Structure 1
Amino acid sequence: MTDHTDVVVIGGGQAGLAAGYHLRRLGLDFVILDAQATPGGAWQHTWDSLHLFSPAAYSCLPGRLMSPQPGETYPDAAHVVSYLTDYEQRYELPVVRPVRVEAVHRDGDHLRVEGDTGTWRARAVMSATGTWWRPFVPAVPGRTEFKGTQLHTVEYRRPADGARQRVIVVGGGNSGAQIAADVAYDTDLTWVTLREPHYLADDIDGRALFDHATARRRALDGGGTDTGGVASLGDIVAVPPVREARDAGLLKAQPMFTRVTTTGVEWADGTTAEADAIIWCTGFRPALAHLAPLGLRGPRGHIPTHGTQAVDEPRLHLLGYGDWTGPASATLIGVGRPAREAARQIAGLLGAA
């Protein structure tokens, strides 16, 4: 059995919900297909101590403020899950779950979305699957020979799981710094980064990062000079736990090692470090396997886009994968604007069809 609709949104996390909000306001018929059994997207799978970079007032989806979390300046992941759950219910967004979308095909004047529980034919598709579901671990020599535990950011939960062990945390971004700070008090920590950690000023939070990313996009769109984006400010937001561990002298980064051994790691000069566990905080790639039948992949696995619209398939929009699909579009506060523009473009496309 195949269902028919104007728009299928793939992914029911923050990007998918923002898309749904704007599609509803434009009066389009749509459905949101979510692979998760419950609301909250990737936020319901993060490590226990994760907090937002910004206060609640600057961490909102379109149309609905996030209420402050009592006792917390920066809300935790559980608070975000509650907010997304409430958001979905408040706007009565048509989320169908759990549905794992396996493929999107061209089907005449429609796109056919095939899931593990059914098929939908739509006049347009918005892909909002994010990156959490495609963790990246670099191919470091010897990695498969290590006898201890190896985790990626997506698998790490709490420092008690590795208490009193020798732990190597790899990665100099926000995840690496936050997880290193999390385990620093309970483990024998070695923090390894590709380059010297570059902290943002302590008073900079997510709102400033969003404003900077937006200013960069406006400059580029207007033919101005590239300011370098958020990366020009620094790699790590000094949220309170990171700042406290750093100021206590617990976050002393070592350069990247050259290989993994059976019992730890080794640097180019022969120095070694033994480890019981390695936590790879080495980033993610866009989760786009479901779009493979469309044959749109370009350099570095990205699908070439104008804004959110796929260059070679105008019925497809990509939302929430990072700056290449909208300034700060992988953040709560940043996804609203590209979601609005994508919905408007889809409405225009369908109105002209």
Structure 2
Amino acid sequence: MSHTTQVVVIGGGRAGLAAGYHLRRLGLEFVILDAQAAPGGAWQHAWDSLRLFSPAAYSSLPGRLMPAQTGQTYPDVQHVVQYLTDYEKRYELPVERPLRVLRVHRDGQLLRVETDSGPWHAHSVISATGTWWRPFLPAVPGQAAFGGRQLHTVDYRSPADFARQRVIVVGGGNSGAQIAADLACDTDLTWVTQRPPRFLADDIDGRVLFDVATARLRALEEGRTDTGGVASLGDIVAVPLVREARDAGRLKAAPMFVCLDRYGVVWADGMRAPADAIIWCTGFRPALSHLEPLGLRGVRGHIATEGTRAMDEPRVHLLGYGDWTGPASATLIGVGRPAREAAREIAEQNP
């Protein structure tokens, strides 16, 4: 059975919910299609010790402040999941789940959204699938030969899974630093980064990062000198877990190795480190395979956008994939503005 609506939002995480809030305010008919069995998006799959970079009041979706978590300045994963669950209920957002979107096709004046439960037709589509579902693993010689476990950030849960083991954590961003800090006391840890880790000043958190990203956007829009944005400040937010491990001397990074063998990793000078497990905290790519039939990717695989709108298909908007679809749009506080702009454009296209 086919369904027809004005807007299909693909993804029921923070970006999809923010889009739903603004679509509802503008009186548009829409549905949110979510592949997850429960509310909370990717947050319900994150590791146990993960904390937000900002206090609750600065980590809110449009329309409703996140309540503070008792005893925590930076809310934990379960608090975020509960907030997203309550947000969805509060605004009675029409979420269909679990329902996996397979492909989006042009179908005359409409877009056809194929799912594992039948097609939907819509005048506009907002893709809000994020990046968690497409982890990136670099190609390193010898990976297939390594005899231990290899995991990505998405697979990590708790230090208890690695107690007294030799673990190598690869990655100099926030995920790598937080997971290395989490493991520093209970494992024989080696933290490996491509370049020396750059910790932000201890008083910088998500509030400041959002302001810096917004200021950079305004400077570029007004033709002023590029401020460098967040990247000019550093790579790693010193959340309490990371700060404690760093100050105790447990977060000392080794340079990137050149290959793996059966037993562990090997550096260019011949030094070796045996390992029971390697955790690749090497980032993500946008999960956009469902848009492939539309042929929107350029030579380097990037979809050109103006704001959130795909330039080669104005009925498609991309929301929450990072700065290229709105400053800090992959964060709770940052996704509200581009979500509002996308909803307004769609309302103008569908009077």
Q: Work out whether the TM-score is over 0.5.
A: yes
Aligned residue for 1:75? 75
1:129 Cα deviation after fit: 0.0
Q: Any idea what the Cα deviations from partners look like across 1:164-184, whole Å, max 9, x if unmatched?
A: 000000000000000000000
Q: Is residue 65 of structure 1 aligned with residue 65 of structure 2?
A: yes
CA distance in 1, matches of 2:154, 2:144: 19
Q: Any idea what the Cα deviations from partners look like across 1:261-319, whole Å, max 9, x if unmatched?
A: 11100011111100000000000000000000000012543210001000000000000
Aligned residue for 1:324? 324
Aligned residue for 2:269? 269
Aligned residue for 1:189? 189
Map 1:150-165; keep pairs closer than 5 Å: 150-165=150-165
Aligned residue for 2:246? 246
CA distance in 2, matches of 1:154, 1:235: 20
Q: What one-letter code is carried by the residue in structure 2 that aligns with 1:86?
A: D
How many residues align? The count is: 351
SS in structure 2 opposite 1:22?
A: helix
Map 1:38-49; keep pairs closer than 5 Å: 38-49=38-49
CA distance in 1, matches of 2:126, 2:168: 39
SS in structure 2 opposite 1:338?
A: helix
CA 1:66/1:298 → structure 2, altered by over 3 Å: closer, same or farther?
Answer: same
1:22 Cα deviation after fit: 0.1
Q: What one-letter code is carried by the residue in structure 2 that aligns with 1:179?
A: I
Aligned residue for 1:213? 213
CA distance in 2, matches of 1:300, 1:19: 28
CA distance in 2, matches of 1:61, 1:237: 21
1:226 Cα deviation after fit: 1.4
Aligned residue for 2:6? 6
Q: What one-letter code is carried by the residue in structure 1 that aligns with 2:280?
A: W
SS in structure 2 opposite 1:301?
A: coil
- Aligned residues: CA RMSD: 0.6
Q: What one-letter code is carried by the residue in structure 2 that aligns with 1:158?
A: S
CA distance in 1, matches of 2:141, 2:251: 25
CA distance in 2, matches of 1:208, 1:74: 14
Identity of aligned residues (%): 78
Aligned residue for 1:295? 295
CA distance in 2, matches of 1:298, 1:83: 37
CA distance in 2, matches of 1:332, 1:301: 26
CA distance in 1, matches of 2:212, 2:256: 29
CA distance in 2, matches of 1:223, 1:313: 27
CA distance in 2, matches of 1:81, 1:145: 38
SS in structure 1 opposite 2:350?
A: helix
SS in structure 2 opposite 1:93?
A: coil
Map 1:67-146; keep pairs closer than 5 Å: 67-146=67-146
Aligned residue for 2:305? 305
SS in structure 1 opposite 2:61?
A: coil
**TM-score, normalised with respect to structure 1:** 0.99
Q: Any idea what the Cα deviations from partners look like across 1:137-171, whole Å, max 9, x if unmatched?
A: 10011111110011100000000100000000000
CA distance in 2, matches of 1:258, 1:202: 32
CA distance in 1, matches of 2:90, 2:309: 28
Q: What one-letter code is carried by the residue in structure 1 that aligns with 2:87?
A: Y
Q: Is residue 235 of structure 1 aligned with residue 218 of structure 2?
A: no
Q: Unmatched 5+ residue regions in structure 1?
A: none
Q: Any idea what the Cα deviations from partners look like across 1:224-267, whole Å, max 9, x if unmatched?
A: 11111211110000000000000000000000000011110001
CA distance in 2, matches of 1:256, 1:85: 40
Q: What one-letter code is carried by the residue in structure 1 that aligns with 2:242?
A: V
Q: Unmatched 5+ residue regions in structure 2?
A: none
Q: Is residue 336 of structure 1 aligned with residue 321 of structure 2?
A: no
Q: Any idea what the Cα deviations from partners look like across 1:78-133, whole Å, max 9, x if unmatched?
A: 00000000000000000000010000000001000000011100000000000000
Q: Is residue 314 of structure 1 aligned with residue 314 of structure 2?
A: yes
CA distance in 2, matches of 1:162, 1:301: 37
CA distance in 1, matches of 2:350, 2:223: 31
Q: What one-letter code is carried by the residue in structure 2 that aligns with 1:165?
A: Q
Q: Any idea what the Cα deviations from partners look like across 1:327-351, whole Å, max 9, x if unmatched?
A: 0000000000000000000001112
1:21 Cα deviation after fit: 0.1
CA distance in 1, matches of 2:65, 2:202: 25
**TM-score, normalised with respect to structure 2:** 0.99
